[in-house]
Copies of this chain bind each other. A is one copy, B any other.
Amino acid sequence: MKFSKSTDLAVHGLWILAQNRPQQVFIAELALKQNVSQTYLAKVFQKLARKGLVNSVRGKRGGFCLARDPEGISIADVARAVEAEEPFFECLAPVRGCEGQNDCKVRETFLHAGEVMYEVLEKITLADLLLVAQNNGRSKWLR
């Protein structure tokens, strides 16, 4: 039960884009700064593009830039974009032969837990991360 490393890479990658606004940043540079493979990071950024969080700039000088203001992108938006394919809780009702899949107390509890978790992630935006970096005089979390 954990968020994937893709989510961590996406949040930090968007943080870099926010710091470089309005300039685009090349995927090679984003990968270098995070010390991960360009191919892997490109796949993560394709998910972000599909969800409208970044715009990709095509061509030889292609790269990515934020599609919205930093105030409009929460950590929850990023996590949902990256993790969206997976349900929060894998209910085995169909395997088990449960009758009460839609009003099961176990399922209800896990889904509620997921909601309150995402409410926390909703409250922090890229603008908050920028503010932290500015208050520190630099982004101490990025090379």
Contact = CB atoms under 8 A, between A and B. Distances in A.
A4 B1 contact: yes
Q: Is the interface of A mostly helix, strand, loop or mixed?
A: helix
A50 interface: no
A106 interface: yes
B99 A140 contact: yes
A86 B5 contact: no
Contact of A117 (B87, B100, B117): B117
Interface string A80-117: 00010011111111011111100011100110111011
A3 B1 contact: yes
Contact of A3 (B89, B93, B119): B89
Contact of A8 (B7, B91, B97, B132): B91
Contact of A141 (B33, B79, B104, B121): B104
Interface of A: 1-5, 7-9, 11-12, 15, 33-36, 75, 79, 83, 86-93, 95-100, 104-106, 109-110, 112-114, 116-121, 124, 128-129, 132, 136, 140-143
